[in-house]
Amino acid sequence: MKREATRKGFGRLGEDEEDLVDTLLNYEEANKHEFHLTTDQIKDVTMDIFSAGSETSATTMEWAMSELLKNPRVMEKAQLEVRQVCEGKNKIEEEDVQKLHYLKLVMKETFRLHPPVTLIQREATERCEIGGYTIPAKAKIIINAYAIGRDPKLWADPECFQPERFQGSSIDFKGNNFELIPFGAGRRICPGISFATSNIELGLAQLLYHFNWNLPNGTKLEALDVAENFGITTRRKNNLHLIATTYIPFNK
């Protein structure tokens, strides 16, 4: 009753207006399932959505903008595409993003150099041999997605930001190509991969469509650093500060 009163106070009654927390609480209160959720578990799920669903996306978008600023040719090409495809629109819709083929190459290259999670943890289900090493069953394995994306045995000029390397290539980040696994692979691949990529692509397309971008105080592009700060997510060591100049107003 207390929860219903709170929801009513915010003008949110009715099943059609339920959010994720409402759904989890309803599941808990129904008490008709073999698996029961506790309040702490609901808190954990909610925090996962905030951290995995927003922190990684924001970090990836910041890296994408960093690389675009540092590579003016790529920036110009990406902006030209989005402005031609969406010409005359006040805002970009999700269906427009599917037509932005070069932007998708930019995203692949960003994920290669800057995977949202650098180290991916797994557990060996059975004993196996890899590269002459014996991996016992139940062993904890840490996969370095960051190093794989920069391995010169797999990539030509691995430190260079070149979206065209994916032109005509079947390599994707959906877990089938082990050269590029920013979201992991197999049954344990990140369940939010579709949400994350759609969120980032749409946001990045909006930024490129509506604004032109420059560094502050006349800073030259080659001076833009890409130093990293390793943690749960690999963020920029220094925050990215940019000056946005309106190109296409949101409500023209």
- Numbered residues of the known binding site for heme: 190
Residues with Cβ within 8 Å of residue 166, at least 6 apart in sequence: 105, 108, 109
| 143 vs 90: CA distance, rounded Å | 43
Per-residue tokens: 71: 């590579």
Binding-site residues sit at 190
Could you tell me if residue 81 is left (phi over 0), alpha (psi between -120 and 50 degrees) or otherwise beta?
alpha
Phi, psi of 41 (to 5 degrees): -65, -40
Residue 85: CB atoms within 10 A of its CB come to 19
